[in-house]
């Protein structure tokens, strides 16, 4: 069987003709298999969605209970038969509930990894290597210049700044799903146990993570009422990047603007956002992790999607691995 007979890119998303499902469709379809809860992968309006229980719960939190006509949950390690196609689910290490989806029929096995990272993350199950014939990889940081530093060093920068500027609020921009909870968990691992203040837009997702036994320590709402602005001096406040542009951010005393993102390695981006303290924390694989993962899967062929596709395709070719870009549109990770 040719791989394109089993899975092929279409304008609606990756489509599996023999089984009739789409993976992470960008437009409503009858049957959607969803890798994770970020908005560019998980959309509302499908007739039926199959995803991990965590992803289904996250979709319900973000879109409301009626986000799909029907839903069905898939647990890691489970193998399901969908119209004669074997589908199994494996952790992707990207955010809570994130999955790689393995699709197999006859002698062909393709793994769609969605977004993934290889680093240890206290808020989600670690990436699992799945041997396959064709590996579909993201390429968000698919250039050799991208090398993510150690998470602990980035968190140490934040805690050091708190010590140096005890009169200033430290305002950390982090996306509401995944990044925010990971930043909080890493701060806790570094031994900081003061309350952390969170923007209202993060409340529900943080509570959901806590309900899944992910310890985030003491969280309090980052609301300033009346004259108690001073209570935020020397405190950590976490808010979504969108909140930094509005009045909310100006309520805090002389804030140090921090931003947690893999893009913080790029000076132009930190400047553009007016970031004083960049924290290079990514939920995506860096260049070495992308290439290592491709090797680990033993795939004979690689399809590259969303990101810097050309460099990774070229790397595969230089390493005698057949490769092509998928050129799919609609996947711009909100979480970086």
Binding site for Zn ion (CB under 5 A): 38, 115, 333, 335
Minimum CB distance to Zn ion, residue 177 (Å)? 8
Minimum CB distance to Zn ion, residue 25 (Å)? 15
Give, in order, the Cα–Cα distances in Å from 1 to each of 18, 87, 130, 324: 12, 16, 20, 18
CA–CA dist 271, 273 (Å, integer): 5
Closer to Zn ion by Cβ: residue 258 or 335: 335
Minimum CB distance to Zn ion, residue 94 (Å)? 6
Closer to Zn ion by Cβ: residue 206 or 335: 335
For residue 13, list its beta bridge partners.
10
Minimum CB distance to Zn ion, residue 39 (Å)? 9
> What number of other Cβ atoms are within 10 A of residue 107's Cβ?
7
CA–CA dist 180, 117 (Å, integer): 16
Minimum CB distance to Zn ion, residue 303 (Å)? 18
What b/e string do you get for 9-44 counting C-beta neighbours within 10 Å, with b at 16 or more?
beebbbbbebbebbbbbbeebebbbbbbbbbbbbbe
Quickly tell me which residue has 């899944």 as its tokens: 212
Minimum CB distance to Zn ion, residue 34 (Å)? 11
Crossing angle of helices 53-63 and 203-211, in 10° steps, is 160
Longest dimension (CA), the chain: 69
Closer to Zn ion by Cβ: residue 36 or 109: 36
Closer to Zn ion by Cβ: residue 236 or 285: 285
Closer to Zn ion by Cβ: residue 286 or 333: 333
Closer to Zn ion by Cβ: residue 38 or 235: 38
């Amino acid at each position: 069987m040719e791989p394109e007979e089993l899975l092929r890119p279409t304008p609606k998303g990756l489509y599996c003709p023999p089984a009739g499902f789409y993976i992470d469709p960008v437009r409503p379809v009858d049957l959607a298999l969803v890798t994770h809860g970020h908005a560019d992968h998980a959309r509302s309006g499908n007739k039926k969605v199959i995803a991990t229980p965590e992803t289904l719960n996250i979709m319900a939190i973000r879109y409301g209970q009626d986000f799909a006509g029907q839903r069905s949950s898939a647990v890691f390690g489970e193998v399901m038969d969908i119209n004669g196609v074997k589908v199994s689910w494996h952790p992707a290490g990207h955010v809570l509930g994130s999955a790689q989806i393995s699709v197999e029929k006859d002698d062909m096995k393709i793994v769609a990894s969605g977004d993934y990272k290889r680093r240890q993350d206290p808020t989600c199950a670690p990436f699992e290597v799945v041997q396959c014939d064709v590996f579909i990889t993201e390429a968000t940081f698919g250039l050799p210049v991208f090398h993510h530093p150690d998470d602990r060093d980035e968190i140490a920068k934040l805690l050091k700044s708190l010590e140096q500027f005890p009169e200033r609020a430290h305002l950390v921009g982090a996306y509401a799903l995944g990044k925010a909870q990971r930043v909080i968990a890493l701060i806790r691992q570094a031994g900081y146990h003061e309350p952390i203040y969170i923007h209202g837009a993060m409340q529900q997702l943080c509570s959901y993570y806590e309900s899944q036994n992910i310890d985030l320590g003491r969280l309090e709402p980052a609301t300033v009422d009346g004259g108690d602005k001073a209570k935020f001096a020397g405190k950590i406040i976490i808010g979504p990047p969108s909140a930094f542009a509005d009045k909310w951010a100006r309520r805090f005393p002389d804030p140090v603007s921090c931003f947690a993102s893999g893009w913080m390695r790029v000076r132009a981006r930190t400047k553009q956002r007016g970031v004083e303290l960049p924290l290079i924390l990514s939920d995506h694989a860096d260049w070495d992790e992308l290439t290592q993962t491709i090797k680990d899967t033993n795939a004979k062929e690689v399809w590259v999607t969303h990101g810097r596709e050309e460099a990774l395709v070229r790397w595969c070719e230089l390493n005698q691995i057949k490769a092509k870009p998928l050129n799919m549109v609609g996947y711009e990770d909100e979480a970086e």
